[in-house]
Structure 1
């Protein structure tokens, strides 16, 4: 079986309503893309928690509706436009051939070497080097598969400063990848924390699969302990707000590692932690940085 995609270019104000109307009148699925994708006019669309964009659309949006081959495509375009009270937009059609979607999706995820000897391997592949540190991890709903520069930076810091027999907290654990790296690098007690219950479920599943004994919990159930290493790969605004709390989680003489910070945000994040721990840029990659600092042996946090 094959399908037909209807491609319509609409303005920002029309994108959401027009997409909803296409679904209402029979489209199987609808996506919105940047009509200027691949040009100098392409615009990123993202936001930090609590600061998400109001509309997932662009000034010039391309609405793509998936339909059966034998559908009346022109009629669908017209019905949706009439429903939204807008002129009937021009549209183009493109064929989508039938494929093995599972295999196609899996083919996009190959084993990844991170640092000098950490492999992140999807379950449908074998580890290229089974003697290395291997994490079996499939792409899923929780953030963290090692592909993003911020995750890589944290993993590489842990590899370079192996937390052998140390206590480690991974705050904002997502898939649990950083907690698992710490455990496989020889850490003692490891805990992971996330505000998303779905992330906790995902992390617990991944830890069992990778034979890592790790405790995962929501923030309201975090222990009062301090840790030799605290890693937080989140985003700059939440990191700044959590400066007193995260700093207090670091044991005297312990290390704090922060990522999810753009290079231009490094100074302001470091300033938020300055009353507690002096942070400096450890490494930079693709515009992102990892900050690192050591809590003084005696202070008043």
Structure 2
């Protein structure tokens, strides 16, 4: 069925009151979006910060009365400038699927949505369905990690993917020759997505082990890769060092350029770190255990 969409610019002070009011006016959904490309990173636990310039989108049934909605909004806050548009009916799941295309990483690795045919059947093709987990290869942090893994020598090595999400890095490591890969994530849905993607690629064998963080075995690994966020990376520096023997390799991403120095400081005691890699303002840090 078609829909009527309301679009209006709001401040953080207006947002909560307006969201509640629109639900009372019959909105089927209310969404807040960044209107000025202002990033919000690692909010404090229990907080839900909003952008200084936000855009609110509310979805109504197509026959909703625009004039009545305008009058109700005017009475609520005369400064609001609502805009309405009709949205045609469409298969939203198909729309999202169509936006995820096959992506080539480096010289030989392809990340291929599970509903696409591999563009190069003879290449290393990782068939991926992210499900509810993070990781499709399109974000710079994931792409940087995949480039690192492709350039690394993984044959015969044991790899730990800390924060495995969809399993994209863990499974790429297996395709690139790792002897064994351990994946861990705080979200059980991520472990389920990784397992599903492993089965999709015929990789659900003894070489892949999945754990919640508190269940991780203590054995050393040869390579540790973590694509999470800067603050937890800093907090985990000591724990990561314990996972790696002398000459073990580490790669860290999910780091903004302005956060790189603080993360480097956290790892400099135990690791010889190389020059950072950068893509679109995101950083990958890598090095070798002293």
Q: Same fold (TM over 0.5)?
A: yes
Native 8 Å contact 1:4 1:69 kept in 2: yes
Match of 2:164 among 173, 196, 209: 173
For residues 221 and 27 of structure 1, the distance between their equivalents in structure 2, rounded to whole angstroms, comes to: 44
Match of 2:268 among 254, 274, 279: 274
Q: Return the TM-score normalized by structure 2.
A: 0.91
Give CA deviations for 1:138-159 in whole Å, capped at 9, x if unaligned.
2432111111111111111111
Native 8 Å contact 1:18 1:81 kept in 2: no
Matched, 1:18 2:18: yes
Match of 2:57 among 51, 57, 64: 64
For residues 205 and 230 of structure 1, the distance between their equivalents in structure 2, rounded to whole angstroms, comes to: 22
Match of 2:151 among 160, 166, 171: 160
Match of 1:221 among 193, 208, 215: 215
Alpha-carbon offset, residue 27 of structure 1:
1.0
- Helix, strand or coil for the counterpart of 1:253? coil
For residues 146 and 52 of structure 1, the distance between their equivalents in structure 2, rounded to whole angstroms, comes to: 30
For residues 274 and 51 of structure 1, the distance between their equivalents in structure 2, rounded to whole angstroms, comes to: 28
Alpha-carbon offset, residue 114 of structure 1:
1.0
For residues 193 and 21 of structure 2, the distance between their equivalents in structure 1, rounded to whole angstroms, comes to: 34
Alignment-derived partner of residue 9 in structure 1: 9
Give CA deviations for 1:59-108 in whole Å, capped at 9, x if unaligned.
343322111121123334544676xx544844222111122333322221
Alpha-carbon offset, residue 49 of structure 1:
6.0
Q: Decide whether aligned partners of structure 1 residues 81 and 227 sit closer, same or farther in structure 2, where only a CA change above 3 A counts.
A: farther
Alignment-derived partner of residue 148 in structure 1: 139
Alignment-derived partner of residue 245 in structure 1: 239
Native 8 Å contact 2:43 2:49 kept in 1: no
Q: Decide whether aligned partners of structure 1 residues 89 and 211 sit closer, same or farther in structure 2, where only a CA change above 3 A counts.
A: same
For residues 142 and 79 of structure 2, the distance between their equivalents in structure 1, rounded to whole angstroms, comes to: 45
| C-alpha RMSD of matched pairs (Å) | 2.1
Matched, 1:201 2:201: no
Native 8 Å contact 1:45 1:53 kept in 2: no
**Gap runs ≥5 in structure 2:** none
- Higher mean Cα deviation, 135-144 or 123-132? 135-144
Match of 2:84 among 77, 93, 96: 93
Q: Return the TM-score normalized by structure 1.
A: 0.88
For residues 7 and 219 of structure 1, the distance between their equivalents in structure 2, rounded to whole angstroms, comes to: 42
For residues 289 and 60 of structure 1, the distance between their equivalents in structure 2, rounded to whole angstroms, comes to: 27
Match of 1:117 among 105, 108, 111: 108
Q: How many residues align?
A: 287
Native 8 Å contact 1:114 1:156 kept in 2: yes
**Gap runs ≥5 in structure 1:** 297-301
Alignment-derived partner of residue 67 in structure 2: 74
For residues 89 and 236 of structure 1, the distance between their equivalents in structure 2, rounded to whole angstroms, comes to: 37
Native 8 Å contact 2:130 2:166 kept in 1: no
For residues 234 and 59 of structure 1, the distance between their equivalents in structure 2, rounded to whole angstroms, comes to: 25
Alignment-derived partner of residue 49 in structure 2: 55
- Higher mean Cα deviation, 238-247 or 208-217? 208-217
- Following TM superposition, the consecutive aligned residue runs of length 4 or more in structure 1 with deviations greater than 6 angstroms are none
Alignment-derived partner of residue 299 in structure 1: none
